[in-house]
A and B are shown apart, each in its own frame.
Chain A
Amino acid sequence: MPFMEFVNFYLMPGIVLGSIYALGAVGITLVFGILRFAHLAHGDLATLGAFAALGVVTIFGVSPWVALPVAMVVCAFMAIGIDKLFYDYLSERPKIIVVMSSLGIALMLRAVVQVVWGVDTETYTRGIVRPDDYWGIRIRDREIYTIIAMFVIVGVLWAFLQKTKWGKAMRAMSDNPDLALLSGVDNRKITMLTWGIVGVLCAASGFFLGINTELKPLMGWTMLLPMFAAAILGGVGRVEGAVIGGLIVGIAEETSVLFIPGEYKAAMAFAILLLILLVRPTGLLKGKVL
C-alpha cells in the first residue's frame, strides 16, 4: 500500500479520533487522579455537551463553533451540579459506591438527551465537506481545527496545573490528599474546580466527535471504553499521558481495520486496556494504580 494512502485513510483519521479521545481521557484522568474513582458517566456527559451545542445551533442559528463555549459552560455547571446533588453525599463511603452512582448518572443523562432531542441521528451542519489537499495529505478544515483545539485546550490546562496556585493545589490533592488538606488546600473548592474543568473537557470531546461524525444519544457511551483505555494507558493522573494514550488508542482503532474485520474496531480499546493492565498497570508515564 502506498505510504500516502496509509496516511490519508488510516493515520489522519486516527489522529483526529485520537484527539477526541484525548480530550475525554484527560477529564477521566483528572477525576481518577484527584477524586480517586472511575467516572462512568463521563461519556454521557460528553453526549450532553454535544447535544447542548446542537440546541444552541438550532435555536439561535449560529455556527457550531460559537455554540462550543456555551456547551462547555453548560457541561461545567452540569458536572458541578451532579457532584453537589449526588456524589458529594457519598464522599464518606467507599469510593466504589460513587462509581455505582455514576453508572446511574450515565443512564439519567442519556435519558435526558433522548427525551429532549429524541433518538434520531443529528448533525450540526448539512452537506458533505470534501477534504482539502495539502501536499498530498487530504484533510478537512474541521479535522485540522479538532487537532489544534485539542492541543490548545490541553496546553492551557497543563499550564494552569503547573503555574497557578489552584493548579498546584489540584496536583497536591492528586499526589497526597491528606498532606494537601494539612497544607490548607480547600478540598471542596478543588473538587468543584475539578468538576468544572471536567465538564469543559467533556463538552469539547462530545462536540468534536459530533462535528466530525454525527450526534447520537449513544455516542458518548461508546467512547467511554476508549477514553478509559487511553487514560490508563497514559498513566492515571497524568495529563500528558492521557493525550499520548488517546492518540495511540485512536490510531490503533483506525489502523486495526488493516488487520482485523472492521466490526471489531471497537475491540481494540479493550485489548489495549487489558494488555496495559497486564504488563504495566501504572501506564506509559508511571501514573497511579488505584
Chain B
Amino acid sequence: MELIGLLNYAVFMAIFIGIYSLLALGLNIQWGFSGLFNAGIAGFFAVGAYSSALLTAPESAVHLGGYQLPVVVGWIGAMVAAGAIAWPIGKVCLRFRSDYLAIATIGVAEIIRLVVKSEGWMTGGARGVNKIPRPFGDLSYLYSQLAYLALVFAIVLVVYWAIERQISAPWGRMMRGIRDNEDAATAMGKDIKARRLEAFIFGAAVMGLGGALFAHFNRSITPEAIDPMIATFLIWIMLILGGSGNNRGALLGVAVVWIIWSASEFVTDQLPTEYAIKAKYMRVFIIGLLLQLVLRFRPEGILPEPQGTAGSPEVKTFQKQESAAK
C-alpha cells in the first residue's frame, strides 16, 4: 500500500516536471536563444489552458463552449491562441530593448488574469472550466496516470527535438548571433525584429501547449491555478539554474527546482499552522535569493550553453573534406 502511494506520488511529480519542462523550453527559446525577457509566462500558460479546455469540454451553462473537439485539436488551438496573443505584444515591444518587453508581458499576464476572472460567460469565472476530457482518463487511476505521464514525456521529447533542430539550423545560429551582437547582425542584413518576433511566438506557443497539458491533467482549470508571479518566477529560476541556452540544462533545472520546491512544501506542511503560513512565504524568499546567488556565482547555470560550432553539420562536412583532401 505504501509502495503504491509512493509510486502514485512519483508519477504525479513526474507529470508536473513534464509540464514545467514545456514552459522552461518555451522560455529557453525566448530568453536562452534570443535574449527576450518574458515576465508573463503565467499569462501564456493560462491562454493555452483555457483555449484547450473550452475547445474540448462538454456543454455547460456557466461557460462558452460545448464543442467537444478532439483533444489534439484543443492542443493545437492552445498553441495558436498563445502565439496569437504574443504576436501584437512582440510587434510593439521587440523594437526596443528587452526591458520594455518585460514590462509589457507583466501587463499581458495581468490583463489575461482580469479577463479570466471577469468574463464569466466565456471562462466560467471563479468556477472555471470543469469536466475537461483527459486522454486515457477512463483507465483505472494508476494506469491512467502512467499513460498520461507517457504522453506528456512523448510531447516533451517531440518539442525538445523540434527546438534542438531549429536551434542547430541556420535560424538558431542567427538568433544567437542577434542575441550576442545586435549591431553585427544588423550589419549582416538580418531582419532582427522579424526574427525576434518568430522566436517570441514560437516560445509562447510552447508555453500554451504546457498550459493545455496542465488543464487536461487536472480535468479542470480555475483562476486559482494561475498564480501570476510564483509560476512565472519558478520557470525563470528553473531555466537560469539549469543553464539558459541549453535545452538539457533547462530540463535538468526543472527537475532540480521542482523537487526542491515540492520537498520544501512537504517540510513546511509539517509545521504548526501558525508557522506554516509564514514558512510558505519564506520559501518564496529563498527561491528569490537562490536566483540572486545563481546570477552572481554561476550565471551560466549547471549545464552552460555549448560554445563554438564543433559538432554542427557544416563543421563535420568541412572536417570530412579536409581529411579527404589529405
Contacts and interface: CB of A to CB of B under 8 A. Distances in A.
Interface stretch (A64-72, A105-113, A145-153, A198-206): A105-113
A83 to B, nearest CB: 12
B96 A90 contact: no
Contact of A224 (B100, B106, B281, B285): B106
A104 B107 contact: no
A277 B96 contact: yes
A273 interface: yes
A112 B283 CA distance: 11
Given A38-B102, A269-B107, A99 B296 contact: no
B66 interface: no
A97 B299 contact: yes
A257 to B, nearest CB: 13
Contacts of B93: 277
Interface in A217-260: 221-222, 224-225, 228, 232
B326 interface: no
A96 B101 CA distance: 11
B107 A225 contact: yes
Given A90-B295, A273-B107, A96 B99 contact: yes
Nearest to A90: B295
Contacts of A144: none
Contacts of A261: 118
Interface string B213-242: 000000000000000010001001100100
Contacts of B295: 90, 97, 100-101, 104
B223 to A, nearest CB: 12
B106 A266 contact: no
A228 B114 contact: no
A267 B100 contact: no
B281 A90 contact: no
Contacts of B98: 96, 99
Interface in A49-97: 86, 89-90, 93, 95-97
Which one of B35, B106, B287, B288 has the highest number of Cβ atoms from chain A below 10 Å of its Cβ? B288
B288 A263 contact: no
A9 interface: no
A114 B110 CA distance: 21
A274 B37 CA distance: 16
B281 A221 contact: no
A290 interface: yes
B103 interface: yes
A261 B284 CA distance: 34
Which one of A89, A96, A225, A267 has the highest number of Cβ atoms from chain B below 10 Å of its Cβ? A96
Interface of B, helix, strand, loop or mixed by DSSP:
helix
B97 A96 contact: yes
Interface size class of B (residues with CB under 8 A): 35 or more
Given A100-B37, A101-B292, A221 B118 contact: no
A103 B288 CA distance: 8
A27 interface: no
Contacts of B37: 96, 99-100
Interface in B100-158: 100, 102-104, 106-108, 110-111, 114, 117-118
B103 A225 contact: yes
A99 to B, nearest CB: 6
18 contacts: A89-B296, A90-B295, A95-B99, A96-B97, A101-B291, A104-B237, A104-B288, A107-B284, A108-B292, A111-B288, A115-B285, A221-B229, A261-B118, A263-B114, A266-B111, A270-B107, A274-B89, A274-B104
Closest 7 CB pairs of A and B: A38-B99, A111-B285, A108-B288, A270-B107, A104-B291, A263-B118, A114-B281
Given A100-B240, A105-B292, A111-B281, 16 more contacts: A95-B97, A96-B35, A99-B37, A100-B295, A101-B292, A103-B102, A107-B229, A107-B288, A108-B285, A108-B288, A111-B285, A115-B285, A221-B229, A267-B111, A277-B93, A290-B100
Interface of A: 32, 37-38, 40, 86, 89-90, 93, 95-97, 99-101, 103-108, 110-112, 114-115, 118-119, 221-222, 224-225, 228, 232, 261, 263-264, 266-267, 269-270, 273-274, 277-278, 281, 289-290
Interface of B: 35, 37, 39, 89, 92-93, 95-100, 102-104, 106-108, 110-111, 114, 117-118, 229, 233, 236-237, 240, 277-278, 281-282, 284-285, 287-289, 291-292, 295-296, 299
